[in-house]
Structure 1
């Protein structure tokens, strides 16, 4: 459903301002490719925080704390 809304919005933009629509259709994949390393970094940082949390709460879990 969301893809249909994006296509309709792009068609509307194409009718109102076709140079901007063409610029968007060429630049959005490039911006998506440029954002991939930052997404990967976000996954790594999130995993690192989960690992640190697991290490910090390990003594409490070994002592039987249910939380």
Structure 2
């Protein structure tokens, strides 16, 4: 909601820039999409590696003494 109000404010004071932002936003979103997918993949990979490395410690901690 705040973003929309800021865009309306930009439209009132500088309408060419507001229209340019309206046209370019989907293009910027499409360009950034592969980077987001790489980030999600790397996050999942590091979470998997962390869980894999911590597995022996969890198994030993769960064993009764």
- TM-score normalised according to structure 2 size: 0.87
| Distance in 2 between residues matched to 1:6 and 1:58, nearest whole Å | 44
SS at the partner of 2:34? helix
Q: 2: CA distance between counterparts of 1:48 and 1:6?
A: 33
Gaps of 5+ in 1: none
Partner of 1:34: helix, strand, or coil?
A: helix
Runs of at least 5 residues in structure 2 that lack an aligned partner in the other structure: none
Aligned residues: 62
RMSD: 1.1
1:36 aligns with 2:21: no
TM-score by length of 1: 0.85
Aligned to 1:56: 53
Question: 4+ residue runs of structure 1 moved beyond 6 angstroms?
Answer: none
